[in-house]
Amino acid sequence: MAELPTWREAWTAALYGPDGFYRRERPGAHFRTSVHASPLFATAMLALARRHDLTTVVDVGTGRGELLGQLDELAPGELRLVGHDVVPRPSDLPPRIEWVDRLPDRIDGLVVANEWLDDIPCDVVEVDDAGTVRLVHVDPATGEEALGEPFDEPWLNSWWPLAEPGTRAEIGAARDDDWADVVRRVGDGLAVAIDYGHTLDRRPALGSLTAYQHGREVDVIPDGSRDITAHVAVDSLIGTRTTQREALHSLGILSTRPPLDRAHADPAGYVRELNDASAAAELTARGGLGDFIWIMSPHGLDGRAPAAR
């Protein structure tokens, strides 16, 4: 048991080690985020930037810069576009899009982190038969687990208290810290993290570790061949929360069908609007992308400051 890594160690090596999943693989080849679902998501980001008069967009955990490419097409030359990920700049990225290995110390603009936090590795803990919370270790080759040393950190007691034998938690402290590090860089602007998550009243009793490979959910084995993810404890993050459904509606992304008479007057326009309506329906769907949580942390906008944790 002692020789097995903890979940956080194994997960980190599997995704971000020298030959880790995200160093080799294009995220879009393995799962579909709102960015891949429809360019309407980029339309919403453009509307959000315009609403706050922000002219820079920094995309944290940008994958291969897909969102920025869409923004460049939607509003050529309007925004300074900056991507950040763990890979070098993709060779096919439009030259106007900047790429940084490190986030700037100060960012004036809109910072977006879509489905980034769920990929930040966590410690995983489980209550043993005697009621002691223990770190879970895992075999990276097989996914077999073993309970290790007792675990007692303030985050657990505050944000995911456990009691029943067999129940588990994913410790979100590293995610809170990484998000706080992004937020503290924002001078005048708005940081938005978007992810699937849970709050104190609805934690998943057995945790939410999941793996994806080539568009399918697969066994959770941290061997570097697949994405490993866990839902985000969104209430421990700095910022205010809203659902993607509410956020997109407020930005004008609506799934209203165009009136039928438009089909005769302007068939091409009608089909385009119908496509947009169905894409909007997917992005705002209950039980789907619409349930994602937007965590918003504004700085210097209308005198507002981020909510304290």
Ligand X SMILES: C[S@@+](CC[C@H](N)C(=O)[O-])C[C@H]1O[C@@H](n2cnc3c(N)ncnc32)[C@H](O)[C@@H]1O
CA angle (194, 197, 203) in 5-degree steps:
165
Does position 8 bind ligand X by CB under 6 A? no
Pairing of strands 227-229, 210-213: antiparallel
The number of beta carbons lying within 10 Å of the beta carbon of residue 21 is: 24
Q: Which residue has the tokens 């959910």?
A: 217
Q: Which residue has the tokens 């619409």?
A: 290
CB of 67 to ligand X, least distance (A): 6
Assign 3-state DSSP to the chain and report helix, strand, coil percentages, each to 5: 30, 25, 45
Burial 238-252 (b: 16+ CB within 10 A, else e): bbebebbbebbbebe
Q: Which is nearer to ligand X, 144 or 177 (CB)?
A: 177
CB of 115 to ligand X, least distance (A): 4
Does position 69 bind ligand X by CB under 6 A? no
Q: Which is nearer to ligand X, 33 or 297 (CB)?
A: 33
Could you tell me the CA-to-CA distances from 174 to 14, 81, 178, 250 in Å, in that order?
A: 17, 27, 6, 31
Does position 140 bind ligand X by CB under 6 A? no
Does position 119 bind ligand X by CB under 6 A? yes
Does position 175 bind ligand X by CB under 6 A? no
**Tokens standing for residue 268:** 């091409």
d(CA 232, CA 41): 21
Does position 116 bind ligand X by CB under 6 A? yes
CB of 106 to ligand X, least distance (A): 18
Does position 45 bind ligand X by CB under 6 A? no
Does position 270 bind ligand X by CB under 6 A? no
Point out which span in 113-121, 123-131, 183-191, 288-296 binds ligand X (CB under 6 A).
113-121
CB of 113 to ligand X, least distance (A): 7
Does position 27 bind ligand X by CB under 6 A? yes
CB of 76 to ligand X, least distance (A): 21
d(CA 276, CA 292): 20
User: 36, 164 in Cβ contact below 8 A?
Assistant: no
Which of 35, 220, 228, 283: binder of ligand X (CB under 6 A)? 35
Q: Which is nearer to ligand X, 146 or 285 (CB)?
A: 285
For residues 180-219, which are near ligand X according to CB under 6 A? none
Does position 84 bind ligand X by CB under 6 A? yes
Which of 22, 159, 179, 196: binder of ligand X (CB under 6 A)? 22
Could you tell me the CA-to-CA distances from 143 to 12, 34, 211, 220, 222 in Å, in that order?
A: 14, 29, 11, 6, 7
User: 140, 14 in Cβ contact below 8 A?
Assistant: yes
Does position 61 bind ligand X by CB under 6 A? yes
Q: Which residues in this chain contact ligand X in the complex, by CB under 6 A?
A: 22, 27, 33, 35-36, 61-63, 66, 84-86, 114-116, 119
